[in-house]
Structure 1
Amino acid sequence: MADSTTLPSPPFDSVSALHFAPSSPDRLLVSSWDTTVRYYDTSDTAPELKAKFDHRAAVLACAFSDDAHGYSGGLDTSVRELDLSTEKITNLGQHADTISSMSWSNSQNCLITGSWDRTLRFWDPRLAQTSSQTQSHSTPERIYHLDLIDTTLVIAMASRLFHIYDLRNMSSPTQQRESSLKYMTRSLACMPDGQGYATASTEGRIAVEYFDPSPTSQEKKYAFKCHRQTVDDVDRVWPVNALAFHPVYNTFASAGSDGTVSIWDHKVKKRLRQYPKLNTPLSAIAFNKEGTKLAMGVSYTWDDGERGLKTAQQPMIVIRKLGDEVKPKGWPGN
């Protein structure tokens, strides 16, 4: 694809998460089941692997705080700070079980991690010499995903449960919800405009939700089918593995095990674009801070078990340059 670049030295196993740096539009963190976090320069002229951080087990989550520091967590239960210039790893502390997700809060200046041990924990890396953990909050179920916008934190848990918190008062969730989707939550992303979030399931559906609990706002929520194919008159339904909102236009991308990425304008309930289908599932996606690039983790997601592994292709990280297809209709300059 002429408008795409494949990064060198990809992981050897499935990509679990992708995140661009908060200020540099070309710097990317990639966590993988191959027990590494890779740090890339994705510039068009000479993309390169800048650093690789080895872990003791599969890494499921990564995040940036600033352009110089990353964080990681996974099956070995350790929360780590990664110094991206010196390649030094600092252990900030432990969960009691696998770390499934993490995000940096600018408003609270801390790292927030979610785990299968049914806790949310807050970490201040400046306290690494003593104890970096500053808060711990129990949740009713294993945490699968979390995302935040400003001071609003959303966590998606097992049993299709969702909790919404105000980071300024973590004594209890401000809202407790059940998923609008019938099957297990596979992905979650908050809207940049702070109005709500999108969530997706293993059963080829996406739900668009709003934070405002008023009946007027709740009437706007909806769910729709996607990432489906008809093969020999049989409907094949694929998991929606990843969602990401465009930082400027508030449209969002979805990536599925069907090997496709679609761009959606959720305000008018329309798909703006579906990119050419790949032969391998997409496990993770991320927009850069300017919304000019979309990083795609192309790797086997175990939908077909060990049988599928035999024909699975080597994982790839593909960077797609974006044009007007990510803009809503009627956007100035469109």
Structure 2
Amino acid sequence: MAFFGASQPSQSGSSSTTGDLKNDVEITSAPEDGVSEIQFSSAADYLAVSSWDRKVRVYEIAPTGQSQGKFFYEHDGPVLSCCWSKDGTKLASAGADRVVKLYDVQSSAQTQVGQHDSPIRTVRFVDVGNANGMLVTGSWDKTIRYWDVRQQQSVATVHLPERVYSMDVQQQLLVIGLAERHVCIINLSNPTAIYKSIQSPLKWQTRVVSCFPNATGFAIGSTEGRCAIQYVEDKDTSLNFSFKCHRETPPNTRDVTNVFSVNAISFHPTYGTFSTAGSDGTFHFWDKDAKHRLKGYPSVGGTISATAFNRSGGIFAYAISYDWSKGFHGNQPDVNPKLMLHAIREDEAKPRSIAKKR
């Protein structure tokens, strides 16, 4: 059976660049408060979800699109980030309680790995030297810290110019998006040294950074409804560019543009194309090498706070959850978060020319 109707052809007459949401499936038993991050395991179709309701939940996604809650565990404050180990046996999380936790999927054991002086915004597993099972955390205390999961002392601390807002890792590339538009790049072959520091090419606050699958660069999104493509090495600077997205011009208006935050950027694991999603409630698929939008989707009816592709790239998950972009006036306490699954057709995320894929 195809993944919730994925094999069905699109309706005739629809625009080739306009995507269809009609077969998207909602996951049952979603978090009770805002969703901060979602991540698929690379070992199975398990989706981890961190939330402001202080819980980390894991759902098993069946090929039919049906979902089942597998387990959850709790923090003492809002959970701001979660990530899987490469083999899918462990799940790390961190948040406003300043604590880094590790959950063993096989034994259900929870351990506190470490702690920061301020809330921890993001956590990632990294490969550093010969160490097996290293974590890196980025905090509002203006540091990143490396942790050996077998002990509760940080292996190393790197001091940064500002608070950590976003962080991503791919192979030996670690990219950290900071307050005041700072971006720090670290080569994990020398994990305690900042390889390069730059100012974001975007003019406003950084919301998200996401590394290319081949680790040659990264994408960065901001509150101004723009995304930038940045390569690490100076020899590739001619390939850098930025573009507008998640903006709209209301009908019957002149010289008015509504600008929305870019909250999430996810790269397809096979094709190297990527998605952007924002507070306008839309998501889009892009080919960075062709500088081309592959598909755009209508509003899902609420802010999209987090996105993720599964290990094969056949499923795109997105969280509909308020991001406070309109302050407390925009919050609707009676509207609960949703977790949605979108089956990827080949023409949605595949680049126009595979030969151009970096």
TM-score, scaled to structure 1: 0.94
Q: Which residue of 1 aligns with 2:5?
A: none
Question: How far apart, in 1, do the equivalents of 2:114 and 2:199 lie?
Answer: 31
Unpaired runs of 5+ residues, structure 1, are none
Question: How far apart, in 1, do the equivalents of 2:28 and 2:212 lie?
Answer: 31
Q: Any idea what the Cα deviations from partners look like across 1:163-212, whole Å, max 9, x if unmatched?
A: 11111213421111000000000011000022210000001000000011
Q: Any idea what the Cα deviations from partners look like across 1:55-104, whole Å, max 9, x if unmatched?
A: 11100010111312101000000000012244322111110001001111
What is the number of residues matched between the two proteins? 326
Asked if 1:244 corresponds to 2:237, the answer is: no
In the TM superposition, what are the counterparts of 1:1-334 in structure 2 within 5 Å? 1-24=21-44, 26-45=45-64, 46-65=66-85, 66-106=87-127, 108=129, 109=132, 110-127=134-151, 131-214=152-235, 217-232=236-251, 233=253, 234-310=256-332, 313-324=335-346, 325-331=348-354
Question: How far apart, in 2, do the equivalents of 1:132 and 1:19 lie?
Answer: 26
Question: How far apart, in 1, do the equivalents of 2:171 and 2:329 lie?
Answer: 43
Tell me how far 1:229 sits from its aligned partner. Answer: 1.1
Report which stretch shifted further, 257-266 or 37-46: 37-46
Contact residue 53 and residue 87 of structure 1 kept, 8 A: no
User: Which residue identity is paired with 2:179?
Assistant: A
Tell me how far 1:321 sits from its aligned partner. Answer: 0.9
SS in 2 for 1:159: helix
Q: Any idea what the Cα deviations from partners look like across 1:237-295, whole Å, max 9, x if unmatched?
A: 10000001111111000001111010000111110001232110100001111111111
User: Which residue identity is paired with 1:201?
Assistant: S
Tell me how far 1:136 sits from its aligned partner. Answer: 1.2
Contact residue 78 and residue 97 of structure 2 kept, 8 A: yes
Report which stretch shifted further, 136-145 or 255-264: 136-145
Tell me how far 1:156 sits from its aligned partner. Answer: 0.8
User: Which residue identity is paired with 2:147?
Assistant: W
Question: How far apart, in 2, do the equivalents of 1:276 and 1:122 lie?
Answer: 41
Contact residue 5 and residue 44 of structure 1 kept, 8 A: no
Report which stretch shifted further, 186-195 or 105-114: 105-114
Contact residue 126 and residue 132 of structure 1 kept, 8 A: no
Question: How far apart, in 2, do the equivalents of 1:179 and 1:273 lie?
Answer: 26
Question: How far apart, in 2, do the equivalents of 1:310 and 1:120 lie?
Answer: 34
User: Which residue identity is paired with 1:188?
Assistant: V
Unpaired runs of 5+ residues, structure 2, are 1-20
Report which stretch shifted further, 170-179 or 196-205: 170-179
Tell me how far 1:311 sits from its aligned partner. Answer: 7.0
Question: How far apart, in 2, do the equivalents of 1:289 and 1:308 lie?
Answer: 35
Off by >6 Å, runs of 4+ in structure 1 = none
Contact residue 280 and residue 313 of structure 1 kept, 8 A: no
Q: Which residue of 1 aligns with 2:12?
A: none
Question: How far apart, in 2, do the equivalents of 1:88 and 1:170 lie?
Answer: 29
Contact residue 280 and residue 312 of structure 1 kept, 8 A: no
Contact residue 14 and residue 300 of structure 1 kept, 8 A: yes
Report which stretch shifted further, 205-214 or 323-332: 323-332
Contact residue 266 and residue 274 of structure 2 kept, 8 A: yes
SS in 2 for 1:62: strand
**TM-aligned CA distance change 1:82 to 1:105, over 3 Å:** same
Report which stretch shifted further, 109-118 or 43-52: 43-52
Report which stretch shifted further, 37-46 or 251-260: 37-46
Question: How far apart, in 2, do the equivalents of 1:219 and 1:135 lie?
Answer: 35
SS in 2 for 1:219: helix
User: Which residue identity is paired with 1:326?
Assistant: A
Tell me how far 1:2 sits from its aligned partner. Answer: 4.7
User: Which residue identity is paired with 1:328?
Assistant: P
